[in-house]
Amino acid sequence: MSEQKLQSQTVQTTGHAWDGDLQEYNNPLPAWWVYTFYATVIFSIVYWTIYPSWPFGKGWIGGVSDITYVNSEGETKTHSWNTRALLLEDLNQAASAQKPYFDKVSAMTYEQIAKDPEMNGFILSSGKALFADNCAPCHQAGGQGVVGFFPNLTDDDWLYGGSFDTIHETLMGGRRGYMPTFGEVLSGEQIDQLANYVASLSGTNHDAGKAAAGNVLFHSETAACYYCHSSDAKGRKDIGAPNLTDNIWLWADVPAAEGAEGKIAAIRGVISSGLNRGVMPAWAGRLSPEQIKVLTVYVHELGGGQ
Amino acid sequence: MNINFKHEWIETNIGLMAVLTMLAISVGGLVEIAPLFFIDKTIEKVEGVRPYTPLEQRGRDIYIREGCYTCHSQMIRPFRDEKLRYGHYSLAAESQYDHPFQWGSKRTGPDLARVGGKYSNEWHVQHLVAPRSMVPESVMPNYPWLLSTPLDISDTASRMKALRTVGVPYSLSQAEYDANVTKFGVTVAKQLHIPDAKKNLGEQANFGNYDGDRSGISEMDALVAYLQVLGTMVDFSKYSDDAFVDNR
């Protein structure tokens, strides 16, 4: 009795002594902790039976919980719970909520969509999200582009055409801008004359004498600019050759260049080094046909649709 | 506590304590990792995944050197929002030749697992040199030296040999090359042949002209070549959208 009383009052030690008298306490764990631990053990067993858990042979135990989804082939399938099946179920739910709208997008012509106020609302909201994810890194959030790199989509100037069909074609297959390097075939003087002529086309400050010589060169077989930019210098949309007469600049940053000579120098730079850039990626493999149709209408409505 | 057991046995026997400590700390790893080597569905069976070409591999080295992984993940998780923003979820098969993998767990910038083909080379060059000229709200640092630093290609073969040691099927012998032809086709097998590494690297850089300057091979050439191949090896249009559900 007296020994029991002693034990309940003093804490047990681990039983060994170091250096003669150095001992370690051996406190028991509190009851709440021990029972919480047992509860977690029971919880894990319940969890194992519901969700995929233990490896078994060359596979694993799938658990009793399952997920039903419809795959892209239209088959309804039931699979034991996993995140990939869960994603398909999520996508099915989202797709069924958006389906009435996307069905309408597929069924309607571009013109019908653009005129229908309800569909316009859908295009504006879904198109904005699509544009922000995929197009804004180059064409910027408002579609204003970056002079020297990526075209402005909000103005009336279109390299490849601003109709629904050409915008759709651009989105599907992408584009690649190309202009030969004239620095290798023309003299510095000739390039200067051409630059003055190009400046004169849009009313930019220029030397009239040089521009007149440039005019001749532009339409000659020596420089042959008119092949692509056409004889009236209004460009050719079938090959993406820009209109030089509209004072809208993509490659030569004329508006930002300092002084009359700086503006001519900016044009000279493009003529002499040419262009092998202006690459727009193809989106056909990355976005669905409905998404591309939404974006086509969205881009068309950014400002300059034709 | 069992009367027969004494802490003293372990605490006075350093060898026993070392063995028991090792056992205790390796249980978690053994239970979670070891089964993956026996489960036959760990890596999806999928066509198109190949090791990186010498140029892409050097680009990957620069990606790691510059610490891109500290802000960019390469792991699209199977969630609806990630699918909408980044594309199909990442497969284990797609990083099977990555040593070390670049999955990451921190996204200050966007996930890059499928950035390949999404933007033009020119965009990447301009964006790496001056990110805010392309994306005004970006907080990414400028990396202007990539464009001006020539790529060090002297150790390309050694780097490929090192990866070969850890299991990437770069070929040294004719037999290994032939095996790669069977597995990946001639075009890819040629790129994986270590003796031709420098030649292949030069040709790809010149043909791709990733940095817009053919006068030399810059670090930018390599990095953009790497970024442009990310996530593009598997053609998901060939597979049903539930083709990989059984793998998890």
What is the SS3 assignment for chain B? CCCCCCHHHHHCCHHHHHHHHHHHHHHHHHHHHHHHHCCCCCCCCCCCCCCCCHHHHHHHHHHHHCCHHHCCCCCCCCCHHHHHHHCCCCCHHHHCCCCCCCCCCCCCCCCCCCCCCCCCHHHHHHHHHCHHHHCCCCCCCCCCHHHHCECCCCCHHHHHHHHHHCCCCCECCHHHHHHHHHHHCHHHHHHCEHHHHHHHHHHHHHHHCCCCCCCCCEHHHHHHHHHHHCCCCCCHHHCCCCCCHHHC
CA distance A302 to A153: 7
Position with higher pLDDT, A115 vs A7: A115
Q: How many residues are recorded in chain A?
A: 306
Residues of chain B that touch chain A, judged by Cβ-Cβ distance less than 8 Å: 1, 6-8, 11, 35, 38-41, 77-80, 83-85, 87, 89, 117-123, 126-127, 133-136, 209, 212, 237, 240-242, 244-248
Asked if residue B135 has pLDDT above 50, the reply is yes
Question: Residue A8: pLDDT above 70?
Answer: no
Residue A15: predicted pLDDT: 74
Q: Which residues does B60 contact at the CB level (< 8 Å), separation at least 6?
A: B52, B102, B226
Contact B159, B57 (CB under 8 A): yes
In chain B, residues with a C-beta closer than 8 Å to the C-beta of A85 are 242, 245
Quick check: A55 and B38 CB within 8 A?
Answer: yes
Is it the case that residue B176 has pLDDT exceeding 90?
A: yes
Q: Specify whether the CB–CB gap between A133 and A280 falls below 8 A.
A: no
> Quick check: A88 and B242 CB within 8 A?
yes
Which of B7, B38, B118 is facing A58, going by the closest CB pair? B38
Q: Checking DSSP bridges between strand A66-70 and strand A59-60, what pairing results, if any?
A: unpaired
Least trusted range by pLDDT, from A301-305, B173-177, B219-223:
A301-305
In this prediction, residue A18 carries a pLDDT of: 79
User: In which band, very low, low, confident or very high, does the pLDDT at A306 lie, cut at 50, 70 and 90?
Assistant: confident
Q: Which residue has the higher pLDDT, A58 or B75?
A: B75
**Preceding omega of B100 cis (within 30 degrees of 0):** yes
Average pLDDT over residues A260-284: 90
* pLDDT at res. A22: 87
* pLDDT on residue B131: 95
Domain chopping of chain B, boundaries: 7-37, 54-230
Interface probe, candidates B234, B245, B246, B247, chain A, greatest A C-beta count within 10 A: B245
| A55-97 pLDDT per residue, tens | 888 889 989 999 999 988 889 999 999 999 999 999 999 988 8
pLDDT at A289 over 50: yes
**What mean pLDDT, rounded, does chain B reach?**
93
pLDDT tens per residue across span A218-270: 999 989 999 999 999 999 999 999 999 988 899 988 888 888 889 999 999 99
Give the domains, in start order, of chain A with CATH numbers.
2-50 (no CATH), 68-101 (no CATH), 108-175+280-300 (1.10.760.10), 178-276 (1.10.760.10)
Size of interface A-B (CB pairs under 8 A): 107
A220: left (phi over 0), alpha (psi -120 to 50) or beta: beta
Residue B237: its chain A contacts at CB < 8 A? 285
Between A18 and A248, name the one with better pLDDT: A248
Q: What is the pLDDT of residue A27?
A: 84
Cα torsion through B188, B194, B198, B203, rounded to 10: -10
Across A243-247, A300-304, B173-177, which has the greatest mean pLDDT? Answer: B173-177
DSSP A284: T
pLDDT of residue A9: 54
Strands A175-176 and A279-280: antiparallel
> The dihedral of CA B201, B234, B187, B160: what is its sign?
positive
Tokens 């210098």 belong to A233
Look at residue A1 in the predicted model and tell me its pLDDT: 42
Q: Which two tokens stand for residue A127?
A: 């198109």
Measure in Å the smallest separation between the Cα of B174 and chain A Cα atoms: 35
- Categorize the per-residue pLDDT at A276 as very low, low, confident or very high, splitting at 50, 70 and 90: confident
Mean pLDDT taken over chain A: 89
Q: Tens of pLDDT along B195-236?
A: 999 999 999 999 999 998 888 999 999 999 999 999 999 999
Confidence check: pLDDT of B7 > 90: no
What does the pLDDT read at residue B3? 61
What mean pLDDT comes out for the span B84-97? Answer: 94
Distance between A209 CA and the closest CA of chain B, angstroms: 35
pTM of the predicted protein model:
0.86
User: H or E stretch including A102?
Assistant: helix A83-107
A87 touches chain B (CB under 8 A): yes
A16, A84, A138 ranked by CB distance to B119: nearest: A138
Q: For A171, left (φ over 0), alpha (ψ -120 to 50), or beta?
A: alpha
pLDDT number for residue A198: 94
pLDDT of A285 higher than 90:
no
Q: Across residues A21-32, what is the average pLDDT? A: 87
How far is Cα A139 from Cα A134, in angstroms, rounded to an integer? 10
Taking 80 as the threshold, does the pLDDT of residue A208 lie above it?
A: yes
Interchain pair A59, B80: CB under 8 A:
no
> In angstroms, rounded to a whole number, what is the distance separating the alpha carbons of residues B169 and A20?
63
Tell me if A73 and B240 make a contact (CB, 8 A cut-off).
yes
Q: How far apart are CA B62 and CA B219, in angstroms?
A: 7
Q: Considering only residues 175 to 234 of chain A, which have any Cβ-Cβ distance to chain B shorter than 8 Å?
A: none
From residue B52, give the alpha-carbon distance in Å to each of B96, B98, B147, B200: 11, 9, 21, 12
Decide: B150 and B218 in contact? Cβ < 8 Å: yes
CB-nearest partner of B245 from A60, A84, A146: A84
Q: Is A17 on the interface with B (CB under 8 A)?
A: no
DSSP code of residue A184: G
Q: Report the amino acid identity of residue B99.
A: H
Residue A212: the pLDDT is 94
Among chain B residues, CA nearest to A274: B212
The fold of B54-230 is: Cytochrome Bc1 Complex; Chain D, domain 2 (1.10.760)
Q: At residue A37, what is the residue type?
A: F
φ, ψ of residue A267 in degrees (nearest 5): -70, -45
Of all residues in chain A, what percent carry a pLDDT higher than 90? 53
Q: Is the pLDDT of residue B164 over 60?
A: yes
- pLDDT confidence of residue B2: 52
**Alpha-carbon distances, residue A13 vs A16, A23, A24, B9, B81 (angstroms):** 8, 7, 5, 15, 57
Q: For residue A5, is pLDDT > 80?
A: no
The mean per-residue pLDDT over the stretch B138-145 comes to 96
Structure tokens at B170: 């770069």
pLDDT band at B1 (very low <50, low <70, confident <90, very high): very low
> What was the ipTM of the complex prediction?
0.84
Is there a contact between B125 and B147 (Cβ–Cβ < 8 Å)? yes
